[in-house]
Chains A and B, each alone.
Chain A
Amino acid sequence: MLRTMLIAVAMVAGAAQPLLAADTASDPKAEFKAFREYFTSRFPKVALDDFVNGPYSMDEGLRKQWKAIDEFPPYEFAVDKGKEMFATPFKNGKTYGDCFPNKGIGIRQTYPRFDEKSGQVITLDVALNQCREANGEKPFDYTKDDMAALTAYMAFTSRGKAMDINIPDDPRALAAYTKGKEYFYTRRGQLNFSCASCHVQNPGNRIRTEVLAPALGIMNALPIYRSAWGGMGTTSRRLRTCNSQVRGVPLKAESEEYRNVEYYLSYMANGLPISGPGARP
């Protein structure tokens, strides 16, 4: 009973705060600069482009293991599956490529994007399901398997391209960015952690056996093959796992909060190369 109440209180607090904070003005350009300077001055030895490699940019031992794993990347099967799915036409003869610019090749770095029609942030995963539904197919589950294979392939074709996220001149886009930022810095769960507690205050430090990744460029490696999962997972799966790990209640995959926080973090990673699909312990 007490536990339920604690969670309820935490949820109310978590839900109320972004609403209040969304009213305060955001300056994405200044925040981008401050965010980047924080990481580059705290980790002067880490090359800027290396931040996208997450924990491997922080820990030499882990990096060696990663190099060995990467000779035979565990996400390779997913990339192959995604490639095949991508090339297979829907029942109406169209393909995924028809829904995207440049036939969907090498465009991962432009997502998530703000959609002016719906006034919402559209991630690559959401865009893929919209594409399926527009062509009369059932949407995929947002956390793993087919969705992870498709995004893995699309990330693979975009490797090395610089993250290129725009915040259009639209108050709703700025609001989405601000809400994402608020979500990132809001504490939640029984452990009372915010995303920033781990990924801004403690990158490179261990949380039990795991080395924490820096928030800078953290979206560039997704989707990931995570050994702890024994399989691939999308951005939603990663965020839901983060929420559970701080003993919070995970949100629905691709809920507005998750899309906004992905928007915020991807904007912060502008200019850094796509390194996905990644492999993580």
Chain B
Amino acid sequence: MASTIRVRAIASGDSTQVQSLISHPMDSGFVKDSKGQLIPPHHIEVVEFEHAGKIVFTCLWGPAVSKDPYVKFTFKGGKKGDDLKVSWVDNKGQSDSLVAKIQ
């Protein structure tokens, strides 16, 4: 199965801009399916971006975040060729991670 994470990190000057897209249903737990049954909550709780052994960005997400969420942020440091690790964990304990090279 292909990764659920897409990430693009571009270094410019002394900072790095990161864009990331995660494929996840992000069910809030308040929506009913076609049979009228509640779809149980299933959403990401924590996303972490790690650079050089240090966490540079943490997301604490809940049911209000949209399906297939998108994140964009900039952090100080990072240069071309460095590794950037992205990982997420959801409320069912499922997770995924990916290591991308900064461009």
A residues with CB within 8 A of B: 71-72, 74, 76-77, 80-81, 84, 230-231
Contact = CB atoms under 8 A, between A and B. Distances in A.
Given A80-B2, A81-B2, A72 B19 contact: yes
Interface string B1-23: 11000101000000000010101
Interface size class for chain B? 10 to 19
A231 B67 CA distance: 9
Given A76-B21, A77-B23, A230 B67 contact: yes
B73 interface: no
B61 interface: no
Contacts of B2: 77, 80-81, 84
Given A72-B21, A74-B68, 11 more contacts: A71-B8, A71-B19, A72-B8, A76-B21, A77-B2, A77-B23, A80-B2, A81-B2, A84-B1, A230-B68, A231-B67
Contacts of A72: 6, 8, 19, 21, 70
Contacts of A231: 67
- State the main secondary structure of chain B at its contact with A: loop
Q: Which 9 A-B pairs have the closest CB atoms?
A: A80-B2, A77-B23, A72-B21, A230-B67, A72-B19, A76-B6, A84-B2, A72-B70, A72-B6
A51 B53 CA distance: 48
A45 to B, nearest CB: 32
Interface in B78-93: none
Contacts of A74: 21, 68
15 contacts: A71-B19, A72-B6, A72-B19, A72-B70, A74-B21, A76-B6, A77-B2, A77-B6, A77-B23, A77-B68, A81-B2, A84-B2, A230-B66, A230-B67, A230-B68
A230 B66 CA distance: 9
A71 B70 CA distance: 12
A153 to B, nearest CB: 12
Nearest to B20: A72
A74 B23 CA distance: 9
Nearest to B23: A77
A65 B48 CA distance: 27
Contacts of A81: 2
A78 B68 CA distance: 12
Nearest to B67: A230
A127 to B, nearest CB: 25
A141 to B, nearest CB: 13
Contacts of B21: 72, 74, 76
A74 B67 CA distance: 11
